[in-house]
């Protein structure tokens, strides 16, 4: 079987939509009422799609396991974002660190599973995220990685291929490297 599809894997909160930052730490929106797409997100997503990339969101949502959020609310938020940006797919890890699952970033499980199911060439694909876990998952999956440095007060990402201030700048770098 020939592997050929290219994908851009995207974290959700802080990449596509505004994260709620408290005490320097990012948190997901609690409801649809709190969702705000970041500036340039629609255009950046459309540019990637026009260049032939699959757009797949891979998001950790541990508040489900922690009992702070319902799966229904997470699904409603993801559905709205998926429709707004015409995404190919949204994958969710609902687990917390203690669950030791294969899908919670920095583990690459969500990316590897999508690659198997969609015939994605991971070496020709990218992972864009705003946290060290995103970068690490992309590296472990064999993707090129782009770190959106939001200045959070937490462990910082390292070893990424590129640092960008926002998704539009990340997409410009990706398109310069990946062609169309």
Backbone angles phi, psi at 18, to 5 degrees: -65, 125
DSSP state of 97: G
Catalytic residue among 11, 99, 134, 161: 11
Catalytic residue among 13, 23, 99, 161: 13
Find all residues with CB under 8 Å of 161, minimum gap 6, and list them. Answer: 144, 145, 146
For the chain, the straight-line distance linking the first and the last C-alpha, in angstroms and rounded, comes to 22
Question: Is 161 annotated in the active site?
Answer: no
Cβ-contact 134, 117 below 8 angstroms: no
Backbone angles phi, psi at 104, to 5 degrees: -75, 120
Question: Is 166 annotated in the active site?
Answer: no
- Active site members: 11, 13
């Amino acid at each position: 079987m020939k592997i050929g599809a290219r994908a851009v894997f995207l974290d959700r909160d802080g990449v596509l939509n505004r994260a709620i930052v408290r005490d320097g730490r990012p948190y997901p929106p609690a409801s649809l009422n709190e969702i705000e797409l970041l500036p340039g997100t629609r255009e950046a997503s459309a540019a990637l799609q026009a260049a032939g990339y699959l757009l797949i969101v891979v998001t950790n949502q541990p508040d489900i396991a922690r009992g702070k959020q319902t799966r229904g609310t997470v699904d409603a938020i993801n559905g709205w974002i998926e429709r707004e940006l015409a995404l190919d797919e949204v994958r969710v890890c609902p687990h917390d660190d203690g669950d030791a699952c294969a899908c919670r970033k920095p583990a690459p499980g969500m990316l590897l599973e999508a690659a198997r199911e969609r015939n994605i060439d991971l070496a020709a694909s990218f992972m864009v995220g705003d946290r060290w876990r995103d970068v690490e998952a992309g590296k472990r999956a064999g993707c090129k990685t782009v770190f959106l440095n939001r200045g959070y007060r937490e462990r910082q990402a390292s070893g990424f291929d590129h640092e960008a201030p926002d998704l539009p700048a990340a997409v410009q770098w990706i398109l310069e490297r990946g062609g169309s």
